[in-house]
């Protein structure tokens, strides 16, 4: 099992966190749980393996061209066979540059991107299948994204503002100071909430909680620390607050999570 990251070009760096390649030659079953990340992804399945996600308690096969909306709760996945997958992980607000719908419509779903974008993404998928060189594949993806970006240029000002607000929320969020952030950006709290919801699929509060949770995951996967220290450093009120939020996003307590780490989970945190 191999997982590689690739950096976007300078022109797409404000929008794409990274590209990645996931390959698995082992013809074995895999089961894991995906946790909220605050990001949306497009994934191109280029191998013969099958991925399934649990929807309403039943596993359903993922499409060959996937759009992952914002995940706000644990999502169980499983796979079998040999896999080659290329993914695009966007920044929290930036999938909105490339899609025309309100992002909240995609929450907690793995959708067929070809139904949303149509022939252009089907053509890209075919080109990725034909070309095995990763540099060529990334170039094809970037050409596709740049065309989408140019065609949606009229939305840039609004989404850029949402991105700036998210940075402020991430560094200094509480229900009490949301009004102050709105004043800083010369908008009403109601408009600020609507803008973030439309561009990310998340409320400001949900975005902040997921960001804090992701920070705790990274700290837990690094040098071992006491859970009380992690809770304090991530801005939780106390350890019980940390455990409650963590369990809502993973279905596990922090201690149980550390005991059940899988190789795939570790790869996703890189």
pLDDT, residue 57, reads 83
Q: 63 near 4, Cβ under 8 Å?
A: no
pLDDT, residue 233, reads 86
Residue 210: how many CB atoms within 10 A of its CB?
Answer: 23
Distance CA 217, CA 131 (A): 36
Residue 268: how many CB atoms within 10 A of its CB?
Answer: 16
Q: 103 near 68, Cβ under 8 Å?
A: no
Q: 266 near 220, Cβ under 8 Å?
A: no
pLDDT, residue 96, reads 96
pLDDT, residue 259, reads 82
Domain boundaries, the chain: 2-153
Handedness of CA 100, 102, 103, 105 (dihedral sign): negative
Distance CA 173, CA 207 (A): 10
Superfamily of segment(s) 2-153: Jelly Rolls (2.60.120.10)
Residue 67: how many CB atoms within 10 A of its CB?
Answer: 22
pLDDT, residue 56, reads 81
DSSP 193-262: HHHHHHHHSS-HHHHHHHHHHHHHHHHHHSS---HHHHHHHTT-SSHHHHHHHHHHHHSS-HHHHHHT--
Q: 187 near 193, Cβ under 8 Å?
A: no
Lookup: tokens for 216:
């705790």
Greatest CA span in the chain, whole angstroms? Answer: 56
pLDDT, residue 175, reads 57
Residue 146: how many CB atoms within 10 A of its CB?
Answer: 15
The answer to whether the pTM exceeds 0.85 is yes
pLDDT digit string (tens) for 199-249?
999 999 999 999 999 999 888 876 667 888 888 888 888 889 999 999 999
Span between the terminal Cα atoms of the chain, in Å = 14
Q: What is the pLDDT along the chain (270 residues), one digit of tens a residue?
A: 788 999 999 999 999 999 999 988 767 678 889 999 999 999 999 998 899 999 888 999 999 999 999 999 999 999 888 889 999 999 999 999 999 999 999 999 999 999 999 999 999 999 999 999 999 999 999 999 999 999 888 889 999 999 999 999 887 756 557 888 889 999 999 999 999 999 999 999 999 999 999 999 888 876 667 888 888 888 888 889 999 999 999 999 998 988 876 655 544 544
The residue with tokens 């089907």 is 122
* 23, 103, 126, 158, 200 from 194: Cα distances, Å: 39, 11, 37, 11, 10
pLDDT, residue 120, reads 97
Helix (H, G, I), strand (E, B) or coil at 77: strand
């Amino acid at each position: 099992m191999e997982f590689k990251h690739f950096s976007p070009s300078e022109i797409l760096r404000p929008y794409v966190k990274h590209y990645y390649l996931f390959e698995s030659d082992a013809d074995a079953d895999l089961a894991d749980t995906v946790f909220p990340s605050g990001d949306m992804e497009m994934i191109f399945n280029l191998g013969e393996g099958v991925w399934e996600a649990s929807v309403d308690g039943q596993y359903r096969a993922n499409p060959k061209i996937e759009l992952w909306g914002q995940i706000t709760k644990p999502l169980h996945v499983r796979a079998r066979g040999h896999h080659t997958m290329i993914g695009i992980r966007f920044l929290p607000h930036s999938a909105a540059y490339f899609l025309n719908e309100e992002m909240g419509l995609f929450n907690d779903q793995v959708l067929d991107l070809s139904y949303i974008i149509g022939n252009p993404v089907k053509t890209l998928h075919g080109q990725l299948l034909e070309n095995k060189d990763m540099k060529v594949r990334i170039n094809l993806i970037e050409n596709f994204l740049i065309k989408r970006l140019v065609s949606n240029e009229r939305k840039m000002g609004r989404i850029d503002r949402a991105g700036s607000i998210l940075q402020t929320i991430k560094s200094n969020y509480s229900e009490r100071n949301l009004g102050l952030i709105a004043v800083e950006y010369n908008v009403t709290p109601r408009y600020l909430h609507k803008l973030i919801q439309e561009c990310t699929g998340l409320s400001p509060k949900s975005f902040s909680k997921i960001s804090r949770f992701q920070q705790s995951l990274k700290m837990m996967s690094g040098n071992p620390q006491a859970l009380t220290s992690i809770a304090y450093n991530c801005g939780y009120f106390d350890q019980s607050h940390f455990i409650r939020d963590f369990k809502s996003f993973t279905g596990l307590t922090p201690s149980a999570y550390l005991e059940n780490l899988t190789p795939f989970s570790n790869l996703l945190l890189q």
